[in-house]
Amino acid sequence: MDWTWYLFRFDGRINRAKLWLAMPVILGGLSVLGAAIVAIQSLFGGPTPFSLGTKDIFKLVDPDVYRTLKLADLPRLLVKLLGISLLLWTYFATSIKRLHDRDKRGWWMVPFFVIPGLYNQFADRLPDSYFMMLPALIVFVLSVWGFVEMYCLKGSRKTNRFGADPLTPPPPRDTRPRWDQQSEIEMVPRKASPPPVWRVKPGYE
């Protein structure tokens, strides 16, 4: 399998199994990133406890995060930003290819991932009222729909606008011997004889 295409490119299709396979890869990347952040905290100082997950992605658009930022937190924040961006790229690349398998465009990641993530980041600052139950319900439905759509349902069985069915077996390998041009050509030695005399056949004169 082409791992560069699988983890970083957005074209083509993958099936459910390969999307599930991407989750241990991303979790392994989070573990490595967490170890790097702990090492940076031990070198430069800073708060020992830290969180690492999808909520950190949406903290990047939260102004309150930058108001409370300290100089000692800058190295940790930079490493966290670079690592989360790389893992987010991998998540989007595999998820969009899975949406292609469902014959859907990559823009479906907006209702399936972006909107629920933004709502969860700012939910504690929204007013408490019964009217806010409707957005919460919509976000819940979008999250469940996205999970079922990408992780549970089968893809298109035929070739769609994004490529061929990834479950289609590859064509059988051609095991016939390759044509050897030298074995098919016979070199006849030229004989020292006068050239033939060309004559018109009788009846055609």
Residue 70's pLDDT is what?
Answer: 64
pLDDT at position 34 = 81
Per-residue pLDDT tens digits for 7-53: 999 999 999 999 999 999 998 988 888 888 778 777 766 554 555 55
Residue spans of alpha helices (H) in 45-159: 55-58, 63-67, 74-101, 109, 115-122, 133-151
162 vs 73, which has greater pLDDT?
A: 162
What's the confidence (pLDDT) of residue 127?
A: 77
| 123-153 burial code (b ≥16 CB/10 A, e <16) | eeeeeeeeeeeeeeeebeebbeebeeebeee
Q: Which residue has the higher pLDDT, 104 or 61?
A: 104
Domain locations in the chain as residue ranges: 3-151
> Given this model, what pLDDT does residue 201 score?
55
Q: What's the start-to-end Cα distance of the chain, in Å?
A: 73
Q: How many CB atoms lie within 10 A of CB 99?
A: 24
